[in-house]
Structure 1
Amino acid sequence: MGSSAYGRVAVWDVVGPSRPSRLPGVGMAGFRDGGAAKVGQRVIPHPSVMLAVDFGAGTPVVTDARGRQQRGSVVAGLGMGSGGSAWVRGENVACLQVRLSPLLARSLLGVTPAELDGVVALDDVWGPETSRIRERLSETTSWQQRFALLESLLERRYQARASADAEVAWAWRRIVAAGGTGRVEGLAAEVGWSRKRLWSRFGEQIGLPPKRAARLVRFDRAVHRLVAGDGPARVAAEGGYTDQSHLHRDVVAFAGVTPTAAAGEAWLAVDDVAWPERLG
């Protein structure tokens, strides 16, 4: 965005950074609950690794699809792993949320996406560094300074670690560019690897098998069209689904609600404000 963008969306006050991140594949947004987050809100899976660093007076509680709870700062795998949507609740919650391309997860987090099946406490990933960054964020009064602080931390971590294999990165970007609708069976031959090798490396470095990753990307495009007002029949016909029932099954599998209900989900309503750019 050209300037700080504040918006009252759903139950959150949302702010975006004044400029894109210097790290390609990284997006950030600030969230402060508007008084209704204590009743709980569904977190819809997204084709990114999600990092949330809380620094407010209240402590968020996140429950993943398997019923496991984490309090405070968390990190969640691509599409929140194999389980689907999660729930967040709390009062007086303030946090910086980061969406990472899975290609950067190993570099920035120090763990592979395959180690993030569901929602994990950030303390378990970053250790004592989590408490230090939370304290510094709470002492900072400007959202833009908070964005700059966290971006500097991510840049230092990025320089210290290797990223994904070039062949895996190419396959992931092909899936994203095709909106999840392309055939994934031929990807291995195109990079000169065996299918077994690509599927193994892709699963480790991206966090999902290629077919499920493609389903997640296709779901993300479809559910945002539903939010924008397109009908399920049209979304299914133009989004790579065999029919409307196919769309229905995928939306229920990832979001836990029907396509009609997903169109009204508050979590999705913030995307145009919080995440103006897609990650690759």
Structure 2
Amino acid sequence: MSEEAVSRGRERASVEHGLSPSIVLPADARLRPWVARDHEGFDEAAFPHGDFVDPATLVTVLAVKVTDQPWHPPLLVNAPRTSHTRIHGPWAPAIVARLAPLGAYKLLGPALSEIGGSLHVALEDVVGAEARRLGEQVQSARTWEERSRLLDAFLLDRATRGPQPSPEVTHAWRLLAHSDGRDLIREIARQVGWSHKHLITKFKQQVGVAPHMAARLLRLSTVWRHLDHGQSWARIAAESGYADQAHLIREFRHFTGTTPAALITA
């Protein structure tokens, strides 16, 4: 895939809140604390027609291509992003792992903070030669299930050697996630026993974004959950922690490139 930041004046592209995979592959149960959901297999049938816009996200995406091609490395890492991005093909079949906040730090190490906001970083640049070996094994595998087992083995090995997120950042993340991004960051810092500035520094290192940005993205995830329920925008805004409907629409447009209403009627 290739990408570019979405700008005004470009032709319309559909917004995808996560492409639908062709195959869902259960991740090893031991990875549950660190992955956002099961692994996904994408073949030609899963690819969109034309460009699409990928919204901002707290999830780190690790993609291992099933077939090699001349554009981009065979293993890619998409770090948490704070803005929407236009994605356009051509695409290559791949197996994908989605790493949860703190999971990316555990499995990829401190390099997470160095690639924050980047798209399509070569995994080999992050973890070294073992990424190249994984790519070779996945491309030699005959089935999606075998590819999933190889990806599990790679991630489990990384988990045994990776850094442990600090108790303070772990607690801060849980407080913020439990409140759907509504808790004040200064109050969270007080509860974990750190200064506001120190929490911001450590949180960004281990989650990939600053706590204030994480809070905004958590509120956005609440909006996604409400979109198909037929509720009024005013009610969705109130239940998602926004000051009013206009605030919700501004934030939604910032992170997705469109408005909730336009997305629903597209």
> Per the shorter chain, which TM-score range?
0.7 to 0.9
The match for 1:142 is: 143
Aligned to 2:9: none
Distance 1:87 1:53 in 2: 20
Give the deviation of 1:13 after TM superposition: 4.7
Match in the other structure for 2:64: 53
What is the distance in 2 between the residues matched to 1:220 and 1:138?
A: 34
Contact map agreement 2:61 2:97 (CA 8 A) in 1: yes
1:168 maps to what in 2? 169
Equivalent residues in 2 for 1:153-232, closer than 5 Å: 153-227=154-228, 229-232=230-233
1:18-97 matches, within 5 Å, as 18=26, 21-23=29-31, 24-26=33-35, 27=37, 28-34=39-45, 37=48, 39-56=50-67, 58=69, 72-78=74-80, 80=81, 82=82, 84-91=83-90, 93-97=92-96
Pairwise CA distance, 1:180:
1.3
* Gap runs ≥5 in structure 2: 1-17
Q: Secondary structure at the match of 1:185?
A: helix
- Once the two structures are superposed, residues 68-101 of structure 1 have per-residue CA deviations (whole angstroms, 9 ceiling, x without a partner) of xx565321222x2x3x122333346211111112
Q: Secondary structure at the match of 2:175?
A: helix
Q: What is the one-letter code of the residue matched to 1:200?
A: T
**Whole-angstrom distance in 2 between the partners of 1:127 and 1:252:** 37
Q: 1: CA distance between counterparts of 2:176 and 2:28?
A: 23
Deviations 1:205-224 (A, max 9, x none): 11211111110111122123
CA distance in 2, matches of 1:166, 1:123: 29
Larger CA deviation: 149-158 vs 87-96 = 87-96
Alignment of 1:226-241 (within 5 A): 226-227=227-228, 229-241=230-242
* Counterpart Cα distance in 1 of 2:43 and 2:193: 47
TM-fit CA distance, 1:126: 2.8
| 5+ long unaligned stretches in structure 1 | 1-9, 62-69, 266-280
Q: 1:21 to 1:30 in 2, by over 3 A?
A: farther
Cα distance in 2 for residues equivalent to 1:138 and 1:115: 28
Report the Cα distance in structure 1 between the residues aligned to 2:141 and 2:248, rounded to whole angstroms.
44
Paired residue type of 1:129? E
Q: 1-side partners of 2:49 and 2:136: how far apart?
A: 23
Q: Which amino acid is the alignment partner of residue 15 of structure 1?
A: I
Q: Check conservation: 1:50, 1:97, Cα contact below 8 A.
A: yes
Call closer, same or farther: CA 1:101–1:234 in 2, change over 3 Å: same
Aligned partner letter, 2:24: G
Indicate how the Cα distance of structure 1 residues 187 and 76 shifts in structure 2: closer, same or farther if over 3 A, else same.
Answer: same
Per-residue deviation, 1:179: 1.2
Equivalents in 2 of 1:215, 1:245: separation in Å? 15
| Matches of 1:210 and 1:102, distance apart in 2 | 11
Which amino acid in 1 is paired with 2:30? R
Residue 188 of structure 1 aligns to a residue whose secondary structure is helix
Residue in 1 that maps onto 2:22 = 14
When normalised by structure 1's length, the TM-score is 0.77
1:48 Cα deviation after fit: 1.7
Task: Report matched runs for 1:246-261 at 5 Å.
Answer: 246-261=247-262
Letter in 1 for 2:93: A
What is the SS of the residue equivalent to 2:30? coil
TM-score, normalising length: structure 2: 0.81
Are the equivalent residues in 1 in contact too, given 2:109–2:163 (CA < 8 A)? no
SS at match of 2:220: helix
Moved more, 173-182 or 108-117: 108-117
Answer yes or no: is 1:107 the counterpart of 2:106: yes
Compute the displacement of 1:257 (Å): 1.6
| C-alpha distance in 2 between matches for 1:251 and 1:50 | 21
CA distance in 1, matches of 2:105, 2:212: 21
